[in-house]
Structure 1
Amino acid sequence: MARRTKAEAAATREALLDAAEEVFLEKGVARTSLEQIARHAGMTRGAVYWHFKNKADLFQAMLCRVRMPFQELIAEIAEPSLMERPLEAIRLAIQNGFERLEQPRHRRVHAILVHHCEVFGDIDPLAMQNEMANEACGALTDHFTCAARLGQLREDLSPENAAELMQALLGGLFHDWLRNHERFSIAIKGSELVALQLELMRRP
């Protein structure tokens, strides 16, 4: 019985997060109340407070469902040979991330973060975006440093500059695609551009 109760509680929590995604996307984060989320999920406001301290806590939980730390994207590839091919590891990890972005939930939540969220209480979307960008840039720098050590990165390009160039490309692609995700496939077009960028960075 306890196991069933735990499973039901987890299902309730997920249903509330699903409802939050839909209402945030429609109304914006600042204009959405916890009561509206509860009503959209067919529950009471008390159910929301049972699982989340406040709207900021709920918002963070929603983001956690789509977080894609760069190291995790690389770990999922599970190819030991990539340790000697860091540029290929970067390419495959980014491709993995692009493919996830095209999943409806990932697209919705990132659209909320970028286009439907203002600074509100403990919610600071710019700080959250900066945190994710800094994490990705740090991981990219580590892999470009490895590529330089193995003689695979252009001699006139530092690992730090390589990471910043790639981060700029990813940021531009991400924001262009979010504005109109039907215009192009980020998994296809993005992967092509990233592969081209990495080839330009490779030592001849």
Structure 2
Amino acid sequence: MARRTKAEAAATREALLDAAEEVFLEKGVARTSLEQIARHAGMTRGAVYWHFRNKADLFQAMLGRVRMPFQELVAEIGDPSLVERPLEAIRLAILKGFERLEQPQYRRVHAILIHHCEVFGDIDPLAMQNEMADESCGALADYFTCAARLGHLRDDLSPVIAAELMQAMLGGLFHDWLRNHERFSLVAKGRELVDTQLALMRRA
């Protein structure tokens, strides 16, 4: 019984987060109340407060479901040889991230964060975007540093600049795609651009 109750509580929490995604996308974060989210999920406002302290807590939990730490993407590939092939690790991790972002939930939450969220109370979308970008750029810099140490990176390109170039390209591509995701495939276009950029960065 305890296990079932715990499972039911987890299902309720996920249903509330699903409802929040839909209402946030339709109305924007600032104009959405917890009562509207509860009603959309077919629950009471008390159910929301049972799982989340406030709207900021719910928003962070929603964002947490689509976080993709770079190192975790590399680990999911499950190829020990990538330790000696850091540029290929970068390539494969980015492509795995693109595949995730094309999933409706990942696309929806990032669209909310970037296009449907204003600074509101404890919710600061720019700070959240900066945190994610800094985390990604830092991880890229670590891998490019490893590539330089192994002699895989061009001598005239520093690991930090390489990371910043890749991060800038990824950010621009993602924002272009998110504005109208039906215009092109993020995976297909992303693979082309990432392969081209890494070829330009690789030591001949």
Q: TM-score, normalised by structure 1?
A: 1.00
Please report how far the alpha carbon of residue 150 of structure 1 lies from its aligned counterpart in structure 2 after TM superposition: 0.4
Please report how far the alpha carbon of residue 201 of structure 1 lies from its aligned counterpart in structure 2 after TM superposition: 0.1
For 1:141 and 1:33, the matched residues in 2 are separated by: 40
Task: Map residues 180-191 of structure 1 onto 2, 5 A cutoff.
Answer: 180-191=180-191
1:6 equivalent to 2:3? Answer: no
Please report how far the alpha carbon of residue 191 of structure 1 lies from its aligned counterpart in structure 2 after TM superposition: 1.2
Please report how far the alpha carbon of residue 175 of structure 1 lies from its aligned counterpart in structure 2 after TM superposition: 0.3
Task: Map residues 61-140 of structure 1 onto 2, 5 A cutoff.
Answer: 61-140=61-140
Deviations along 1:7-41, one digit per CA (max 9) or x if unpaired, are: 10000000000000000000000000000000000
Secondary structure at the residue paired with 2:123?
A: coil
**Alignment gaps of 5+ in structure 1:** none
Deviations along 1:80-127, one digit per CA (max 9) or x if unpaired, are: 111111000000000000000000000000000000000000000000
Question: Which amino acid letter does the alignment assign opposite residue 109 of structure 2?
Answer: V
Counterpart in the other structure of 2:203: 203
For 1:22 and 1:86, the matched residues in 2 are separated by: 38
For 2:87 and 2:77, the matched residues in 1 are separated by: 14
Counterpart in the other structure of 1:194: 194
**Alignment gaps of 5+ in structure 2:** none
Between the aligned residues of both structures, percent identity stands at: 86
Please report how far the alpha carbon of residue 192 of structure 1 lies from its aligned counterpart in structure 2 after TM superposition: 1.0
Counterpart in the other structure of 1:167: 167
Please report how far the alpha carbon of residue 149 of structure 1 lies from its aligned counterpart in structure 2 after TM superposition: 0.3
For 1:67 and 1:53, the matched residues in 2 are separated by: 21
For 1:145 and 1:4, the matched residues in 2 are separated by: 48
For 1:67 and 1:157, the matched residues in 2 are separated by: 29
For 1:39 and 1:78, the matched residues in 2 are separated by: 42
